[in-house]
Structure 1
Amino acid sequence: MRRRSLLLAALPAGLVTVAGCGDDKSASGKAGASPSPSSAPPPKIVEGPLPAVTAGTKFGEKPTIAKGPGEPSKNLAVKTLIAGKGRPVAENDFIEANYLGQIWSTGKVFDNSYDRGQPLLMQLAQGTIIDGWRYALVGKKVGSRIEIAVPPAYGYGKSGQPQAGIKGTDTLVFVIDLIEAFNSRSSAHGKPVAQSDPALPKVGTNTDGKAPKVTVPKTAPPAKLVSAYVLEGDGAPVKADQTVLCQFQGLVWDSGKTFQQTYGSGRLSQFSVQQMEQTVKGLAQGLTGKKVGSRVLIVVPPELGYGDNPPSGGVIKKGATLVFTVDILAAM
């Protein structure tokens, strides 16, 4: 089992865990229990003091951070060490980032993603991430390295985080490499792959965040699972024990009706591949092994979908073959 961050809230999981993104102002961001006090007012942001980064000073390198110099500020200290050139991050975006966190007074490292070899994937929203990150990273550009010092009120408050060795009086220091950010306008940007089989649905290759057009042929559906690239990305293959962040739509083969989608909803989907295996097995199997950054067509026969037990009250009937298009934005 992959080790999760000690600092940040656990990722939500389920059949289709849908979470608000930066361009949806009505999104509540209730994707998990908040690890930081909800009553704290917005912090004053200052430039320091901040400890020096003494080694690993390049973007993507595991940093070494000196012990905090003297007393930390009671405000949130934020400094851009390397300015990125990507788009600015907005409230409720999902971020992909590497980070190292240590305690100001002792210099003790309590968590880092560099050693795990797996960046953090988390929504920058109240209730899913400590407020120090949420306030510090909004407006920062993708490709930036940010150093922050988080006072207790914007970290874990008076209770601290005992399992990580964090006391309720500890100021926390982070170096964060902001790799990527995603919102509901995000799409896969892989290389188009020829769609030459007339017995399979044709899927649009637009990359504007809108739902790709799906044309289902007027023929009998395939009897076996189909998983094919529409746009082939260059990321790592999705593993069965990962959580994926994606855009998706699901249609019924016979009627062509859409039963669920994220495109145009102001939201993205985040779910565990393992848990998906327990609900729509064909979708989990179709995603496993496909590269991050891809758009994938998945045709799920009834025995790998809902079979004779479809969701009540919807357009999916008994024995339905399902058609999915999935833009795999990130995986953790």
Structure 2
Amino acid sequence: MRRRSLLIAAVPAGLVTLAACGDGTSGSGKTTAPASPSPSASAVPPPKLVDGPLPAITAGTKFGEKPTVAKGPGEPSKDVAVKTVIAGNGRTIAENDFVQANYLGQIWSTAKVFDNSYDRHTPLLIQLAQGTIIDGWRYALAGRKVGSRVEMAIPPTWGYGKEGNPQAGIKGTDTLVFVIDVVDSFNSRSSAQGKPVPQDDAALPKVGTNTDGKAPSITIPKADPPKKLVSEYVLEGDGPELKAEQSVLCQFEGKVWDSGKTFQETYGSGRLAQFALQQMEQTVKGLAQGLTGKKVGSRVLVVVPADLGYGDNPPSDGMIKKDSTLVFSVDILAAM
């Protein structure tokens, strides 16, 4: 089993999932991140950001390489020290964005590494949202650009507070040092950026190929729906293929074939969806199966027959019936 981060965050308010399709509420998936220790921890005032002091990066100095970081030089700052070690030229990160990044975290006074994503060979995916991650990350990463390596030193006030994080071996007096390689970022205006794939089957819905973050059009033919699961590229990305044990961050819209009505979507809502494919197997099995094996960066049309959808347990709003075929357009933004 792949080892996950020691630091697990709850689902931020900016997420929706399909576990409760049609009600627009947040779901129960998980995001891996340096979690906020308690809701009250985010009530502290914003820190002053200063240039140092910061310990030296002594090895692994290139973007994407696992760094080796020296012990903190003397006493740490009482403010949040942050420095862009390598400047990227990608999109500027804002609070509430999702950030995909590799990171290493260690304790200032001992140089003891308490967690890193480099050894897992999988970047973590976090949202810079209040109450979701430690405040030091929120303030120090906002305004940085994708492609940057950022080093920061975070005092307890903007880290884990007086309680620390015993699971990670962090005391309530420890200043934390992080080196973070920002791989990508996403927000509610993000779209898949793959190459258009011909949609030649007149018996299937046609999905728009716009990449401006707005909802693509979905035109459902006036015909009987297919009896078997359909999963087709609309835009084919060049990222890795989704595996059944992964979670996906996406934009999506779901329609009922017969009525053409939208029962849930993220476009225009200011939110993204994140869910584990294995969890989705318990709710809309066809959607999980239709996304498995598809490439990150793609827009996918998934047509789910009733027996692979909600079956005999449709949502209570009445829009989806027991025999409803569902049509999804899904932009696969990231996976972990």
User: Under TM normalisation by the shorter chain, which class is it?
Assistant: over 0.9
| Cα distance between partner residues in 2 of 1:147 and 1:15 | 33
| Cα distance between partner residues in 1 of 2:58 and 2:242 | 35
Pick one of 176, 186, 189 that aligns with 1:185. Answer: 189
Taking only aligned residues, the RMSD between alpha carbons, in angstroms, comes to 1.8
Match for residue 237 of structure 1?
241
1:192 counterpart letter in structure 2: P
SS in 1 for 2:323: coil
2:130 counterpart letter in structure 1: Q
1:208 counterpart letter in structure 2: D
**Preserved contact between residue 14 and residue 272 of structure 1 (Cα < 8 Å):** no
Match for residue 34 of structure 1?
36
Identity %: 77
Match for residue 7 of structure 2?
7
Residue 113 of structure 1, CA deviation: 0.4
**Preserved contact between residue 9 and residue 35 of structure 1 (Cα < 8 Å):** no
| Cα distance between partner residues in 2 of 1:197 and 1:169 | 63
Q: Deviations over 1:67-94 (max 9, x none)?
A: 1001111110000001110111011000
Structure 2: tracts of 5 or more residues without a match = 21-25
Pick one of 300, 304, 324 that aligns with 1:300. Answer: 304
Match for residue 113 of structure 1?
117
Distance 1:155 1:8, change over 3 A: farther
Which stretch of structure 1 is more off in the superposition, 7-16 or 71-80? 7-16
Match for residue 133 of structure 2?
129
1:222 counterpart letter in structure 2: P
| Cα distance between partner residues in 2 of 1:128 and 1:2 | 23
- Is 1:89 aligned with 2:93? yes
Q: Deviations over 1:170-203 (max 9, x none)?
A: 0000000011110111000001111111111111
Residue 306 of structure 1, CA deviation: 1.1
**Preserved contact between residue 16 and residue 272 of structure 2 (Cα < 8 Å):** no
Q: TM-score scaled by structure 1?
A: 0.93
- Is 1:166 aligned with 2:176? no
Match for residue 21 of structure 1?
none
Match for residue 148 of structure 1?
152
Residue 243 of structure 1, CA deviation: 1.2
Q: Deviations over 1:125-168 (max 9, x none)?
A: 01111111001000001111000000011111111111111111
2:239 counterpart letter in structure 1: G
Pick one of 196, 210, 216 that aligns with 2:200. Answer: 196
| Cα distance between partner residues in 2 of 1:200 and 1:236 | 26
2:64 counterpart letter in structure 1: G
SS in 2 for 1:38: helix
**Preserved contact between residue 89 and residue 146 of structure 2 (Cα < 8 Å):** yes
Pick one of 237, 259, 262 that aligns with 2:263. Answer: 259
Match for residue 224 of structure 2?
220
Distance 1:161 1:145, change over 3 A: same
Q: TM-score scaled by structure 2?
A: 0.92
Match for residue 73 of structure 1?
77
Distance 1:177 1:17, change over 3 A: farther
SS in 1 for 2:258: coil
**Preserved contact between residue 2 and residue 241 of structure 1 (Cα < 8 Å):** no
SS in 2 for 1:125: coil
1:44 counterpart letter in structure 2: K
| Cα distance between partner residues in 1 of 2:169 and 2:36 | 19
1:257 counterpart letter in structure 2: K
Residue 11 of structure 1, CA deviation: 5.1
Residue 34 of structure 1, CA deviation: 3.1
SS in 1 for 2:157: helix
Distance 1:113 1:11, change over 3 A: farther
Residue 15 of structure 1, CA deviation: 4.4
| Cα distance between partner residues in 1 of 2:94 and 2:17 | 26
SS in 1 for 2:83: strand
1:197 counterpart letter in structure 2: D
| Cα distance between partner residues in 1 of 2:37 and 2:97 | 18
**Preserved contact between residue 15 and residue 275 of structure 1 (Cα < 8 Å):** no
Aligned residues: 321
SS in 2 for 1:227: strand
- Is 1:55 aligned with 2:48? no
1:3 counterpart letter in structure 2: R
| Cα distance between partner residues in 2 of 1:300 and 1:205 | 21
**Preserved contact between residue 81 and residue 147 of structure 1 (Cα < 8 Å):** yes
